Amino acid sequence: MKKRSPSRIRILAAILLCVPACFPQSRPNIQRSAPARPRPPFLQQATVFEETSSVPYVTKLVLQNGLTILVEEFKSKPVVSIQTYIRVGSLNESPQNRGAARLIPSLVCRKPVDKIAGALEQNIYALGGLLRSTVGYENTRFEIVAPSAQWKRALNLQAEALRNPSFETGDWTPEAKLLVNEAWSALDDPEELSREKLLELAYEPVRMEKNGDIAEGGWQGLKSDDLAGFFKTFYVPSKMTVVLSGDVIASEVLNEIVRTYGKFASATKAEPALPKASPAGFRYRLLRGDVSVPQVLFGFRATPENASDSRALEVLRAVLGLGEGSALNFRLRDQDHLIWSEDTGIFGSRNFKCFLIRAEMDPKDIDRAQIAVLTEIELLKRQEPEAAEVARAVAQLELEYWKHLDTVTGRAESLAQYDALGDWKGRDRYVSDMKKVSPADITRAARKYLRIENLALIELLPAEGLEQRNPTAEGIRSTLEGLLSPATDQVQEKREKETLPYLKIPKDSGGFKFSEVQNSFQVASILRGPEMYIREDHTAPVLTMGFFFAGGKFAENNNNAGLTKLMTDLIARGTPDMQAGRFYQQLEVYGGKIEPVVTDDYFGFNFSILSGNFEAGFDLLRQAVKSPVFSKEDVGRQKEMQIREIRRRKASQANALDLENAALFQGFSYSRNTLGTEDSLAGFTPNTLEEWYREYIRNRKPFVVIIGDTRGTSLAAQFVKEFSGSRMQDSKIPETWVKALSAGESVEQRWKDNQSMILVGFQAPPVDDEDAYTVAALEELAGNSSSLSQEIRYKLGAADRVSVVYEPRLRGGSLIVAATTRPGNEEAVLKAVRDELLRIAAGPVSYKDCRSAIVAAVGMYGILNEERTDEVHHVVSNLLAGKGISGFQNYPASVQSVTETDLTEIAQRIFDMKKAVIVKMHGRSN
């Protein structure tokens, strides 16, 4: 047979393959569809599924059992916030279960995951995270912030703790007693006390008193069955929203939440209706407390009827009190000297909203200041605010908004807030919505909501003095109504004659582009000028800058203590040609903010601004730093304000820390706080300040750290003209060190707080010491991650709050244990602290405990650096210590190299009770 060639075989094969295409087929070609893929588990249980199309991606899911889930993929930092909201609060309590809403979250945080594990709090710290819980009037929140790699474990810990807390009497009664102590501690805070009393007054007969009710034993009579019933009614999926923001993949998170929270039981009975407030009317109450100067609180019942009203009230709040250039600060504090300080806010829950104004003043000015605050409101009702006023207010709200979104906590909070309002995508429209508010909208909102008949007024006066002041509600109202109109006429006539300063309103650039890329610091060196450290961060159209000088407070002594603080505050007031508020008003129109900063080792300014306006805003800061004003009048007024701060500090818990530092750092600059004393301030004159300025600022190279919406090191050019040249000198701190204590000391005092406070302090390594990394892990081992809190709070029930804080400074550090307890229990707490510290020092530290402490230290470092100002602080501390930017970047690796032996050795050196400084502040009997 003739053999066919390979080429002919290929041709024949090709023809045969083509035959079926050329002739009709006897059997049809059946198209089989691919097998259907199963839907993801989370979609199988979903009734609502929505997602955004823009970065960062947000997904909303509502399950068949009613659980709402919001997940945001925010990959800028390796951190995650897991928040579970339950629509229940103190207003849902009945007389039979009084205290249940506040007690159940404490029991959840107390619950161990198994019989041998610590409380939930300790398990979260071992993941490198932290645990928070808050109880409001209509809402309860649980939050875990942790490294994003641990999101699944953290989510499961939270879900497990929430599922079945123990309501056996032996488990919850110790926590109830600690809850009483926490309530007394809260009432020691004048702001917390006065706000609670204001809301109580405004919404009578609705029971808005949270801490006072618990402190007076409001939970007594509560039974285990009451707690269990309350839990089964409210802790159900239909009343829960789980919000997660961070470096995660949404589909994985949704599947896990469905798996864990899908096990929760449904509601067993209907929820009781909330109480109703009585009709509006003017209300007044006088309180006396441990305050250094009188405080007056104005609370206008102002539940917005629609979204437009809500936006207008936000801008109205900013016009009146947000920023140094606001009406209350500029007019009443700086021009008329009627108030010392103010703040405005909007307290909000679903059914109760209140427009709040707080003002501090001299005793002699109480009546005039009240009329003056109401006059500013009345002027807004009569005449629409100027366009520049509105632009300044909106720019400050925008800056506030973006800074809140710096952290995963803030991002998750805002998502939950907008979802509760029925508009979960509204967060991304916040800035554009605020920019739509017109001057007419502000005037309309002021007329509609800020009325005398809608006002609750609280006067909080010092416990001693002003005994003759005892007005009635009717007397106060008639006085306000009789004086308000003529006072407004007078001020309006005066201001019509004023020439308002010209304020440049910048155009909206609209050029911001969000990016999740994580950039490292770059160094920009300026010839004969400062080295600048710049990190691009395009998660917000904001630039944050630390502008600091070494020394200052470090060189102070007993005679000039507080001088650096006074100088820094005065510099921040502006330049000679921009007085009368124009400096701050123009800066705030740009969306800028200056915060004077004085630490133990450096001082200067935190500067934040909307990135499109950095050049114009920085020019204002540059002028203020290069051409400060120290007039006699300004110095005198600022001294008076600093003295008020000194007196307030002496009446606060910060006074205990001052006593501790005074004994730990005897004679060294660290022994004094930044405010100084009334005696030291008395000797300061404009010449004193000018000499201090020449020594520590003029011709000194600053430390500059910038984080934000910039490109590379392009901003370095802004610093060449004024901060470089042959005249510029390096800022250095003298090579003097804290002297080691030869023996410990005990300080004992009584104060007016309801709670007692115990501090046990030790000297510790400075920031540049290699042992600093070991002490950072020891801080977590002794405090947050297990030992002290576990032993003293959860096992002994001796203290409601226990903390351990390591504060490394340039020339010496401190490690301080602090605990609050009820009066009469001080010695028991002190003994428990001593015993636990000695147990740690005796060792050995197990491998597990060592690793947990290291993970906690590294995790907390990452969480703290979410805040840009904290990140700047850590960079500057490393620069001053000579570690450079690598010291900041390598911190986690340095802590991770700590061993069990290192921890035991450093604990034995630090926890020497013979050299401990013990401060006991005895509270008054409840």
Q: Which pLDDT belongs to residue 85?
A: 97
What pLDDT is recorded for position 16?
A: 33
Q: Region 621-641: what's the mean pLDDT?
A: 92
SS3 call for 642: helix
Encode pLDDT of 233-282 as tens digits.
999 999 999 999 999 999 999 999 999 988 787 766 666 777 777 777 89
Q: Does 500 have pLDDT greater than 50?
A: yes
Half-sphere exposure of residue 622: CA atoms within 13 angstroms, side-chain side: 14
Cα 462 to the center of its chain, rounded Å: 28
Q: Is residue 25 pLDDT above 60, yes or no?
A: no
Q: Which residues contact 250 (CB under 8 A, 6 or more apart)?
A: 51, 57, 59, 71, 73
**563-587 confidence digits (pLDDT tens):** 999 999 999 988 766 665 789 999 9
CA distance linking residue 454 with residue 535, whole number of Å:
49
**Count of CA atoms in the C-beta half-sphere (13 A) of 594:** 31
Q: What is the DSSP letter of 36?
A: P
pLDDT at 12 over 60: no
**Sheet containing 602-610, strands listed edge to edge, beginning at the edge strand earlier in sequence:** 522-525, 531-536, 703-708, 542-550, 602-610, 592-598
Task: Give the bridge partners for 707, in sequence order.
Answer: 535, 544
The answer on pLDDT for 591 being more than 80 is: yes
pLDDT of residue 163 exceeding 90: no
Which contacts of 333-341 are long-range, i.e. CB under 8 A and separated by 24 or more positions?
334/581, 335/580, 335/581, 336/372, 337/637, 338/365, 338/368, 338/369, 338/372, 339/365, 339/369, 339/372, 339/373, 340/293, 340/641, 340/644
pTM: 0.92
Would you say 539 and 611 are in contact if contact means Cβ atoms under 8 Å apart? no
Structure tokens at 498: 């004023």
In percent, the amount of the chain with pLDDT more than 90 equals: 66
Look-up: residue for tokens 């000391």?
A: 745
Q: Over 60: is that where the pLDDT of 814 sits?
A: yes
Question: Rounded to an integer, what distance in angstroms lies between the CA atom of residue 192 and that of residue 212?
Answer: 11
Q: Which helix (H) or strand (E) holds 401?
A: helix 387-404
At 84, give phi and psi (nearest 5°). Answer: -115, 120
411 vs 417: CA distance, rounded Å: 10
Averaged pLDDT for residues 657-666: 96
pLDDT the model gives residue 118: 64
Torsion 894-897-898-901 (CA) sign: negative
Mean pLDDT of the region 507-526: 86
- What would the two tokens of residue 573 be? 């007031």
Distance CA 789, CA 804 (A): 9
Q: What is the DSSP letter of 540?
A: S
Q: What is the pLDDT of residue 24?
A: 42
Residues whose CB falls within 8 Å of the CB of residue 86, separated by 6 or more in sequence, listed in order? 139, 140, 141, 234, 235, 239, 240
Percent of the chain's residues with pLDDT above 70: 93
What does the pLDDT look like over 283-299, one tens digit per residue? Answer: 999 998 888 889 999 99
Contact 589, 578 (CB under 8 A): no
pLDDT band at 922 (very low <50, low <70, confident <90, very high): very high
Residue 182: its pLDDT value, please?
A: 84
pLDDT tens for 47-57 read: 999 999 888 99
> Half-sphere exposure of residue 230, counting CA atoms within 13 Å on the CB side?
29
Average pLDDT over residues 827-847: 93
Weakest-pLDDT range from 117-126, 238-247, 882-891? 117-126
Antiparallel, parallel or unpaired: β 745-750 and 917-922: parallel
pLDDT on residue 787: 67
pLDDT at site 826: 93
Q: Is the pLDDT of residue 860 over 70?
A: yes
Predicted confidence (pLDDT) at residue 29 exceeds the cutoff of 70: no
As a whole number of angstroms, the distance between CA 584 and CA 606 comes to 15
What burial class does residue 272 get, using C-beta atoms within 10 Å of its C-beta: 0-12 exposed, 13-18 middle, 19+ buried?
exposed
Helix (H) or strand (E) holding 176: helix 169-187
Q: Per mean pLDDT, which range of 72-81, 570-579, 788-797 is the poorest?
A: 788-797
pLDDT greater than 80 at residue 230: yes
Asked if 865 and 874 touch (Cβ cutoff 8 Å), the reply is yes
Answer yes or no: is pLDDT of 8 > 90: no
What local confidence, expressed as pLDDT, does residue 37 receive? 57
Predicted confidence (pLDDT) at residue 789 exceeds the cutoff of 90 = no
pLDDT reported for residue 112: 62
Of 36-40, 296-300, 783-787, which has the strongest mean pLDDT? 296-300
Q: Give the strand order in the sheet containing 79-86.
A: 46-51, 57-63, 68-73, 240-246, 79-86, 140-147, 130-135
Specify the higher pLDDT residue, 270 or 195.
195
Question: For the chain, what is the mean pLDDT?
Answer: 89
